[in-house]
Amino acid sequence: GIKPSLSNVDWQLPVFKRMYVAEPAIWPVLRTHVLRTYNPEEASLFVVGFSPFLLDGLTCPGFPSSPKKYEAEVVKKLSNDKWYKKKGGFDHMIFMMRFGVKMGAPLKQMLDSGSLIVTTDRLFWNLVKVLPNIFKNNSLVIAPYVAPYYLDTTPPGEPEMQEKHPDTWYFFAGTYSRRFGGRGNLALLSQHLSAGFVNFTDLRVPKTITPNNGLLQHSFEIVGQAAAGIRRSSVCMSPQGDAVTSGRLFEAMAGGCVPVMMAPKDGAPVELPFPSLIDWDSVALFTDNFDAITKVKDGINITGRVLEALVGPHASATAHERLRCMQKEARRVFVKHLSYMQNPLGITDSILLEIWVLLQKRGLIRGPFRA
């Protein structure tokens, strides 16, 4: 009977929690999806309604009172379920969107044996440590972060694609301090880009948020200001932070701004959602992270010159036309495949298609991807 909405999620949750609240958009679609069957004999995929992140700190009628009890109940029921035991869970899908992986040994063993896992990229590397067999078992489907309401939807009275402003041609808003990727070098990179066309801001969304300390309002205002900047900008930097990608990749696409993903070459291809559906080279630019760039002689200067030639304000007319096409395509792809608020059916279908590919690779169903 619950009818969740993400339309006011930025008012209710700080950004570092909002980014993972995908299930309220996807589960209602799965419940009524045209491919759903109520006959387990006909099913090739079983979706497990398991979401410890959503229940953490919440009380829901009919559910165990804590995430640990909830987890134990899920493990117990799956272990005794004949449809789970029939194929060892290889045809069961579980959402693990939460930040950090804290689970008991029984659940770890169950998931690492082959269940399909839908997760975000930040969780990706934690899962590799906790569940080392996910690659061998072809178990992982990467889903995008939840973008802010400001960007996912078009504000009333505003066009789908806003006019781009020269004073914020290159855009970044966020903290320069992260564990990986050398993000602080953005300040140096800005010195090698066209003067007067760069809008890089070092800021941090507060994490010590309670309902009464006023910081949630402050967080909401920061997100709104950043969203406005993205919609006005032409090129949005998406440097590696704690993980290979970040929410900025999807926020840029939502705002019709071409993202520059700065990440290790060996990590980026497996960190991007829906590789069977999205031609990522048509909507984003890719370069190595600053850790690698700074090891090359004059690397930051070279990176700046390349960006100026490809997408800079003084690039050729042909380059500008290509940039405009990429901006429109980024927004189109976002709405079709990555929007939890505008198109939850599209993002759900994208997840199901990638799982369809994995099920073929596992030899569970027939199709063109079967090994």
- In contact, 291 and 183? CB cutoff 8 Å: no
Strands of the sheet containing 285-287, edge to edge, are 198-202, 170-174, 235-239, 258-262, 285-287
What was the pLDDT predicted at 124? 63
d(CA 240, CA 262): 6
Continuous segment of H or E residues that includes residue 251: helix 247-254
d(CA 203, CA 189): 17
284 versus 123: the higher-pLDDT residue is 284
In CATH terms, 149-338 corresponds, of 3.40.50.300, 3.30.499.10, 3.40.50.2000, 1.20.950.20, to 3.40.50.2000
What was the pLDDT predicted at 61? 60
Of the candidate ranges 16-20, 93-97, 280-284, the one whose mean pLDDT is the lowest: 16-20
- The torsion defined by the Cα of 288, 141, 80 and 86, in degrees rounded to 10, comes to -120
Query: Exposed (0-12), middle (13-18) or buried (19+): which is 189, by Cβ within 10 Å?
Result: buried
Enumerate residues 6+ apart whose C-beta is below 8 A from 267.
244
When pLDDT is cut at 50, 70 and 90, the band that residue 62 belongs to is: low
Of the candidate ranges 7-16, 196-205, 324-333, the one whose mean pLDDT is the lowest: 7-16
pLDDT digits (tens, 9 = 90+) for 86-130: 999 999 999 887 656 677 888 888 888 889 999 887 656 667 778
E strands, 208-347, where? 235-239, 258-262, 285-287
* Radius of gyration (C-alpha) of the chain in whole angstroms: 21
pLDDT mean over 248-271: 87
d(CA 239, CA 298): 19
Q: Which residues partner with 185 through β-bridges? A: none
Q: Kindly report the number of other CB atoms within 10 A of residue 190's CB atom.
A: 19
Q: Is the pLDDT of residue 4 over 50?
A: no
What was the pLDDT predicted at 218? 56
Query: Exposed (0-12), middle (13-18) or buried (19+): which is 369, by Cβ within 10 Å?
Result: middle
E strands, the chain, where? 46-48, 92-95, 116-119, 140-142, 170-174, 198-202, 235-239, 258-262, 285-287
What was the pLDDT predicted at 210? 53
- One-letter amino acid of 153: T
50 versus 251: the higher-pLDDT residue is 251
Q: Kindly report the number of other CB atoms within 10 A of residue 47's CB atom.
A: 20
Provide the residue ranges of all domains of the chain, joining segments of one domain with +: 15-146+342-362, 149-338
Continuous segment of H or E residues that includes residue 13: none
